[in-house]
Amino acid sequence: MNALKIGLIPGDGIGPEITAAVQRILEANGFCPEWVPLEAGQPAIDKGLPAMPEETLNAVRELGIALKGPTATPVGKGHTSANVALRKALDLFANVRPTRSIPGAKGHFQDTRIDLIIVRENTEDLYAGIEFQPHKDIAQAIKVITRPGCQRLFKYAFEMVRAQKRKRLTAVHKANIMKLTDGMFLEEFYKAAVEYPDITADDIIVDNCCMQLVTRPEQFDVIVTENLYGDIVSDLCAGLVGGLGLAAGANIGENCAVFEAVHGSAPDIAGKGLANPTALLFSALMMLRHLGENVTADHIGGAVLRVCAEGKVLTGDMGGTASTEEYASEVIRVCLEKSG
C-alpha cells in the first residue's frame, strides 16, 4: 500500500519551529506519513515566487490534505495574504475553530467550562479582496456574500453539529445594519435550519455576541459566521481559554483540507525557540480525526492536557519557562508513559 502523503507548509516566523515540534510529537506516536515539504510565505518570496506559489497550490490540490504553519502578511502594503490565496484557490470554504477550556491554562475563565466551535466562512465577505480608490481621499472595499456560499456553509455547519452530537447553532451577523449582505446570510441560515429540527438554531448580532462571549462564554455551543466576524471572534475566543498558543483550526473544502493554527507568525518571538506548538498540534489532531486516526489523536490530546494541568513544563505564553523543544519532549514523554 502507498504511504499516506501529507503536504507540510512550515511557513515563516515561528512556523518552522512549531511544525518541526509537531512532526516530532506525531512521529513519536507512530503517525509517520510521507510529509511533502511545500513552500509559502517568506521562503517563497525570497526565491522571487508569490507568497503562495502555484506549485504549492497544485500540490495541496493533488494531495487533498496539508498541515500549515503561519505566514506573515505586511500591514497596509506589500504582498497579499498567502492564507487568503490558499483558501480561495482551493475553495476551503469552512474554517472550523474549536475553543475549549484547558486545565492549567491561565485566563479569566479558568474555572468556567468553555466548549464551543466557531465555523467561519472562509472565501467571501470583505476578504474577497476587492478594494479600489476612486479618488485619492476615498478607499472602498466590496463585501461579497453569495447565496450558494451561505448554503454550503450552513449545510456543513448543521451537519457538523449533528455529527458531533451538539445541540445548538448560533448565526452571528450584523443584519440590522447590512440588510442585504448579512440579511441574505441570516435568511439562508433559517432556511437551512428547517432541515435540522433536532438542532436549536438562533442568531445574535456580532457586537452583542462579543459582549456575551466575554461575560458568559459557556452559553455558546457552535457559532457560524461570516469571514471577518469569524476572524475577530475566534481570536477573542482564543483569549478566553489561555491565548493564541492553544487555538487550533481547520480549513475545509469539498476536496481538500488544510489544518493550521489560529495564530500568525509571531515575529516578536520567531527564531527564539519560545513558541508554543500546542495550537498547531491541536490542528494536527483535527487532521488525524479527519483521517479517522481518532485513537492516536485522543492519546496525544490527553497527554497535552496532562502536561498543561501539571504545569511543570510549559512555554512562556502559558506562564512557564520551557522552550518549544522542551515542551514537545515533555508531551512525548507523557504520551509514552500513558502507553505504558
Nearer to ligand NAI, 79 or 166 (CB): 79
The 3-state secondary structure of the chain, one letter per residue: CCCCEEEEECCCCCHHHHHHHHHHHHHHCCCCCEEEECCCCHHHHHCCCCCCCHHHHHHHHHHCEEEECCCCCCCCCCCCCHHHHHHHHCCCCEEEEEEECCCCCCCCCCCCCCEEEEEEECCCEHHHCCEEEEECCEEEECCECCHHHHHHHHHHHHHHHHHCCCCEEEEEECCCCCCCHHHHHHHHHHHHHCCCCCCEEEEEEHHHHHHHHHHCHHHCCEEEECHHHHHHHHHHHHHHCCCHHHCCCEEECCCCEEEECCCCCCCCCCCCCCCCCHHHHHHHHHHHHHCCCHHHHHHHHHHHHHHHHHCCCCEHHHCCCECHHHHHHHHHHHHHHHHC
Of 134-153, binders to ligand NAI (CB under 6 A) are none
Of 79-98, binders to ligand NAI (CB under 6 A) are 83
Q: In angstroms, what is the minimal distance from the CB of 262 to ligand NAI?
A: 7
Q: Which of 68, 174, 182, 317 is catalytic?
A: 174
Q: In angstroms, what is the minimal distance from the CB of 287 to ligand NAI?
A: 15
Asked if 115 is an active-site residue, the reply is no
Among 10, 70, 104, 149, binds ligand NAI (CB under 6 A): 70
Asked if 190 is an active-site residue, the reply is no
Question: Site map for ligand NAI, 246-275, x if CB under 6 A?
Answer: --------------x--xxxxxxx-----x
Counting contacts by CB under 6 A, is residue 107 touching ligand NAI?
Answer: no
Counting contacts by CB under 6 A, is residue 317 touching ligand NAI?
Answer: yes
Q: In angstroms, what is the minimal distance from the CB of 199 to ligand NAI?
A: 29
Counting contacts by CB under 6 A, is residue 71 touching ligand NAI?
Answer: yes
Q: Which of 127, 156, 229, 327 is catalytic?
A: 127
Asked if 272 is an active-site residue, the reply is no
Asked if 229 is an active-site residue, the reply is no
Q: In angstroms, what is the minimal distance from the CB of 45 to ligand NAI?
A: 12
Q: Which of 203, 231, 317, 327 is catalytic?
A: 231
Nearer to ligand NAI, 43 or 158 (CB): 43
Chain residues binding ligand NAI by CB under 6 A are: 14, 70-73, 83, 244-245, 260, 263-269, 275-276, 279, 317
Q: Which residues are catalytic?
A: 127, 174, 207, 231
